[in-house]
Homo-oligomer: A and B are copies of this chain.
Amino acid sequence: MTDIDTDNSPIPERKRGSGVKMVYDLLRDEILDLVLPPGSPIDEVQLAERLKMSRTPIREALVRLAGEGLIDTLPNRSTMVANIDFLNLNPFFDALVLMYRVTTRLAAQNHRPEDLAIIRGFHEDYAAAVQTRDPLTMIATNAAFHAAIAESGRNPYFTSLFRRLLDEGRRILRLYYQSYDEQFPQRFVDEHAAMIAAIAARDVEAADRLGKAHAEQIVEQVQKLFARNNKLDIAL
């Protein structure tokens, strides 16, 4: 009964063609929620046994994840969850701030009425998650909120880069919420509301400004956190 393998899954049958997507979604979530921390080895055979499928669909999912930079594959050797370069997050921050600006700006320009309903939906989900103080849900709904804004801007190139950055951000924020008190999320709720207002009013400049401020505020907080942690590490 001390069996680690939890194979009482009641779904032995699976639709044709859903295999890759299933593995992809599962691994992606586990990576972004740090269930699989950076550097974790990923064993194809083990996964195949756990999900009761052959290695072929699993490999294809891994190829896709590697393309998105979520895992690293050493030729002929192991594959593992991609590491985060905490020592130099600047490229990440630069890209994040710019994409916050651009996507919010484009949303103000190009959104359609039906987009606002979706955006407001995620906004409320995030507010609810802040109330219940559930970090994982907070992080995920925050990312979904901004991804929805980007979608309404209707530039697939920006959207896909922004999605990738938000994904990476989920992993970084996960550490943030683990070690920092959670007073900021409420402020984010207010800022989100202001962004929605600017988008709805089609005020491009205001949207740009708010997106930039929102992003820089997040960056600043994360940088402050890491600066403190680094000092602690050195002190030890």
Contacts and interface: CB of A to CB of B under 8 A. Distances in A.
Contact of A155 (B76, B94, B106, B157): B94
Given A60-B59, A60-B60, A67-B68, A155 B75 contact: no
A161 interface: yes
Interface residues of A, number: 28
Interface string A1-41: 00000000000000011001000000000000000000000
A95 interface: yes
A154 interface: yes
A156 to B, nearest CB: 6
A156 B59 contact: no
Given A91-B154, A94-B106, A157-B165, 14 more contacts: A16-B76, A59-B60, A60-B60, A60-B63, A63-B64, A64-B64, A91-B155, A91-B158, A94-B155, A94-B158, A95-B155, A95-B157, A98-B102, A157-B161
A221 interface: no
A184 interface: no
A76 B18 CA distance: 10
A131 interface: no
A117 B91 CA distance: 23
Contacts of A68: 67
A186 interface: no
Nearest to A155: B91
Interface of A, secondary structure class, is helix
A180 interface: no
Contacts of A76: 16-17
Interface string A173-186: 00000000000000
Interface string A37-73: 0000000000000000000100110011001100000
A122 to B, nearest CB: 22
A16 B75 CA distance: 10
Contacts of A154: 91
B157 A75 contact: no
**Shortest beta-carbon contacts, A-B, top 10:** A67-B67, A95-B157, A91-B155, A161-B161, A63-B63, A60-B63, A17-B75, A64-B67, A17-B76, A63-B64
